[in-house]
């Protein structure tokens, strides 16, 4: 059985490296595996395709696991870009859904001048960290009512009554990290079509 993966081209050179680390000659490895020294040599140089019938006994003789020889596939590190809108608030995902904490770039809309804003405090399980990228953020947390500018951060237990919004005439962009429970509370809308992502 041939191991058919282009990334397996490195198996031969890995075998040679491990054989040399073990201080074994081709003849000694041949004697331990009943595989001819010439076959092992061709496998090490890439002139012979690796297959299980060759690799398994060689790995056993070198006291290796197959994981030591077969390169593990590395998943694509890019995070799928998903934008969700909840009312006028936009959330852009910056972490995979499987992550234990959820990271988002959040855009809060501007507060029109002269608008009377009454904070609607919320409470839920979890913990939240945020960092202001652009604009001014008003954060009401318990008895605190503060305004944060670009480069400022805050963190808090979301079981404390809290509320946040843009302060001033422009929108505010921030990074926020919260737990799975926080994600459930914050995002209750369907994703927008990919063509509408910001």
Tens digits of residue pLDDT in 155-167: 999 899 999 999 9
Polymer length in residues for the chain: 198
The string of pLDDT tens digits covering residues 18-39 is: 999 999 999 999 999 999 999 9
pLDDT confidence of residue 197: 45
How far is residue 32's CA from residue 178's CA, in Å, rounded to a whole number?
56
**105 has pLDDT over 90:** yes
Q: What is the mean pLDDT of the chain?
A: 84
Confidence of residue 196 (pLDDT cuts 50, 70, 90): very low
* Nearest to 86, CA basis, from 161, 190, 182, 165: 190
- The domain locations on the chain are 6-68, 83-196
pLDDT confidence of residue 3: 47
Q: Are 36 and 57 in contact (CB under 8 A)?
A: no
- The answer for residues whose C-beta is within 8 angstroms of residue 66's C-beta and 6 or more apart is 55, 56, 59
What is the model's pTM?
0.59
Choose which CATH entry (3.40.1280.10, 2.60.120.10, 3.40.50.150, 3.30.420.40) describes domain 83-196: 2.60.120.10
pLDDT confidence of residue 194: 46
Max distance between CA atoms of the chain, in angstroms, equals 88
Measured CA angle at 149 (ends 167, 187), to 5 deg: 65
**189 has pLDDT over 70:** no
Question: What is the third-level CATH fold of 6-68?
Answer: 434 Repressor (Amino-terminal Domain) (1.10.260)
Provide, rounded to the nearest whole percent, the portion of the chain with pLDDT above 90.
48
Q: Are 82 and 93 in contact (CB under 8 A)?
A: yes
**4 has pLDDT over 50:** no
């Amino acid at each position: 059985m041939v191991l058919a993966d282009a990334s397996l081209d490195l198996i031969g050179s890995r075998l040679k490296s491990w054989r040399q680390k073990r201080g074994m000659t081709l003849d000694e490895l041949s004697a331990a595996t009943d595989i001819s020294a010439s076959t092992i040599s061709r496998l090490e140089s890439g002139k012979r395709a690796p297959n299980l019938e060759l690799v398994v006994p060689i790995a056993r003789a070198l006291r290796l696991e197959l994981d030591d020889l077969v390169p593990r596939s590395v998943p694509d590190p890019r995070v799928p870009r998903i934008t969700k809108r909840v009312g006028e608030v936009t959330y852009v995902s910056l972490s995979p859904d499987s992550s234990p904490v959820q990271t988002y770039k959040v855009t809060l809309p501007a507060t029109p001048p002269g608008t009377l804003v009454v904070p609607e405090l919320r409470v839920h399980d979890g913990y939240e960290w945020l960092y202001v990228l652009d604009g001014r953020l008003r954060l009401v947390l318990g008895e605190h009512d503060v305004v944060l500018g670009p480069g400022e951060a805050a963190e808090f237990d979301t079981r404390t009554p809290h509320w946040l919004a843009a302060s001033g005439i422009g929108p505010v962009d921030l990074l926020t990290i919260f737990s799975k429970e926080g994600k459930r509370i914050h995002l209750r809308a369907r994703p927008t079509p990919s063509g509408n992502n910001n």
